[in-house]
Amino acid sequence: MINIPKGTKDVLPKDSYKWQYIEENLRKIARLFCIDEIRTPTFEHTELFLRGVGETTDIVNKEMYTFIDKGDRSITLKPEGTAGVARSFIENSLYADTQPTKMFYITPVFRYEKPQNGRLREHHQFGIEYYGSDSPYADAEVISVAKKVFDSFGVKELVLHINNIGCPECRKRYNEALKDYLRCHLDEMCATCRERFEKNPLRILDCKEEKCKLITANAPITLDYLCDGCREHHDTLIKILDSLGIDYVVDPKIVRGLDYYTGMVFEFVSNNIGAQGTVCGGGRYNDLVSEVGGKAMPAVGFGMGIERLMLTLENLGLPIGEKNKPSVYVAPISDNARDVYMPIVAKLRDMGISVESDIMARSVKAQMKFANKIEARYVVIIGDDELTSGVVNVKDMSSGISEEVALSKLTEYFGGKI
Ligand code: ATP
Ligand code: MG
């Protein structure tokens, strides 16, 4: 037997309504905020992620699904959604349109990680990207989209952590201070962090190793090194969030795992789904577009893990949609009935009524059992007697009450009822 690859999951027919419910809700919220969908390919040139995501990130260092295609090109399966959108924004000259450009995506994401609860090798993200505005009002709107998503699913338990990691100017001063602090601890840090020390010391704050976390616990924080512009941006954002009644904690330990972030960063964290508690992470990445070859363009956005969102809903016992149940089950129970039932079923479906019927040549008893199992609301039996009399019984399965209806009037009957 061939098994599913490690770290991937099937969504089975009995559960797919949950995904549809979540995705429909996400699309509805995107519409509320006037955000249009963008769809980019599942794979891109590897170079895009090397430049976009950054060479010192976990993603580029160890998590990418990269292969050489038959044309000898290095190709990588999307390890995140933002770089592809930036590529498309430049390639399609979206910067030449009136700004802002507000986009969302729902996409599979591929990362070679150690599979565990809430950590998969193929997961899915809902993400938004706002291009064109450097204003804290854009940051606040992006954060409110995530907040709206959680509110709409009834999730109140997530805590918003925000921080500001500074623009390249503040970062220079901060990196020096951080390096001064870390220098005497170099020997005690993990190999990856020792490497990060010269290349990108800020990354060290994101290390998951206990010994590194202990060292960075008292490290200097970026908020103390902000330039006037970044300080004002941060303070204004806080004021807007207060005016919106959005609760947050300012958390200097949030630095995010991707190199492209500048300035404001945030995460929505859950205490209900175990160690992989970050359901949504985002921030500002003003340098991304120029890093992947475009003209400088301010941008802000987030990525939200749909599996982690679903885990949160499940663990909190919140509703995740309802399984589709047929309104009508039509049961043909004789050869003659089988000659006529399909056009009746087709007509009902033409009217927008969901109908299930028999394609298994089952007996009456088996069909009734099946209609019960799939929880059809009404059942109509068509046999030789019904064909002769031109009258059928329509049974309401919840009340058990039957009504006689002329076969020729069946579609009108349901049209008025469903
Ligand atoms: P983590 O620190 O948990 O590895 P990350 O910083 O790598 O997360 P992002 O790159 O910001 O995550 O991705 C955005 C969101 O996608 C995360 O907040 C999380 O909800 C989800 N996510 C990331 N990696 C995975 C994964 N391997 N499996 C399932 N969901 C994931
Ligand atoms: Mg990660």
Distance, CA 140 to ligand 1 centroid (Å)?
A: 21
Atom of ligand 1 nearest to the CA of 58: 7
d(CA 252, CA 177): 15
Comparing CA positions, the residue from 163, 100, 145 lying closest to residue 244 is: 145
List, chain by chain if needed, residues with CB within 6 Å of any ligand 1 atom. Answer: 80, 111, 113, 118-120, 123, 125, 257, 276, 278-281, 303, 305, 307-308
Pocket test for ligand 1, best of 26, 62, 116, 276 (most atoms within 8 A of CB): 276
Distance, CA 413 to ligand 1 centroid (Å)?
A: 51
d(CA 79, CA 65): 8
Comparing CA positions, the residue from 193, 156, 369, 160 lying closest to residue 272 is: 156
Distance, CA 128 to ligand 2 centroid (Å)?
A: 18
Distance, CA 73 to ligand 1 centroid (Å)?
A: 27
pLDDT at 61: 87
The pTM is what? 0.94
Ligand 1 atom 7 nearest Cα = 257
For the segment 125-184, what is each residue's pLDDT rounded down to a tens digit? 999 999 999 999 999 999 999 999 999 999 999 999 999 999 989 999 999 999 999 999
Peptide bond into 298 cis (omega under 30): no
Q: Please name the residue that has the structure tokens 């064909």.
A: 387
**Of the bound ligands, which one is closest to the alpha carbon of residue 158?**
1
Ligand 1 atom 23 nearest Cα = 305
DSSP 412: H
**Of the bound ligands, which one is closest to the alpha carbon of residue 79?**
1
How many Cα neighbours within 13 Å face the side chain of 69? 10
Token output for 265: 């960063």
Q: What is the mean pLDDT of residues 43-52?
A: 96
**Of the bound ligands, which one is closest to the alpha carbon of residue 118?**
1
- Please report, as a single letter, which amino acid is at residue 249: V
25-34, 47-56, 373-382: least confidently modelled range: 47-56
Distance, CA 397 to ligand 2 centroid (Å)?
A: 49
Reply yes or no on whether the pLDDT at 64 is more than 80.
yes
For the segment 231-245, what is each residue's pLDDT rounded down to a tens digit? 999 999 999 999 999
Q: 3-state DSSP call for residue 3? A: coil
**Of the bound ligands, which one is closest to the alpha carbon of residue 123?**
1
Atom of ligand 1 nearest to the CA of 208: 2
Atom of ligand 1 nearest to the CA of 125: 16
Contact predicate 155/314, CB 8 Å: no
Distance, CA 303 to ligand 1 centroid (Å)?
A: 8
Contact predicate 79/258, CB 8 Å: no
Checking phi first, is residue 93 left (phi over 0); if not, alpha (psi -120 to 50) or beta? Answer: left
d(CA 417, CA 381): 18
DSSP string, 10-65: ---TTTHHHHHHHHHHHHHHHHHTT-EE----SEEEHHHHHHHT-TTSHIIIII--
For the segment 357-371, what is each residue's pLDDT rounded down to a tens digit? 999 999 999 999 999
Q: Please give the span between the terminal C-alpha atoms of the chain, in angstroms, as a whole number.
A: 45
For the segment 190-217, what is each residue's pLDDT rounded down to a tens digit? 998 998 899 889 989 988 889 999 999 9
Contact predicate 41/76, CB 8 Å: no
Distance, CA 98 to ligand 1 centroid (Å)?
A: 32
Distance, CA 133 to ligand 1 centroid (Å)?
A: 25
Distance, CA 59 to ligand 2 centroid (Å)?
A: 7
pLDDT tier, 92 (very low <50, low <70, confident <90, very high otherwise): very high
Which contacts (CB < 8 Å, 24+ apart) does range 382-387 have? 382/330, 382/331, 382/332, 382/333, 382/334, 382/337, 382/340, 382/341, 382/344, 382/407, 383/332, 383/333, 383/334, 383/337, 384/334, 384/336, 384/337, 386/337, 387/334, 387/336, 387/337, 387/340
For the segment 298-347, what is each residue's pLDDT rounded down to a tens digit? 999 999 999 999 999 999 999 999 999 999 999 999 999 999 999 999 99
**Of the bound ligands, which one is closest to the alpha carbon of residue 114?**
1
Token output for 250: 């300012």
Token output for 386: 């019904």
Pocket test for ligand 1, best of 61, 105, 109 (most atoms within 8 A of CB): 109
pLDDT at 271: 81
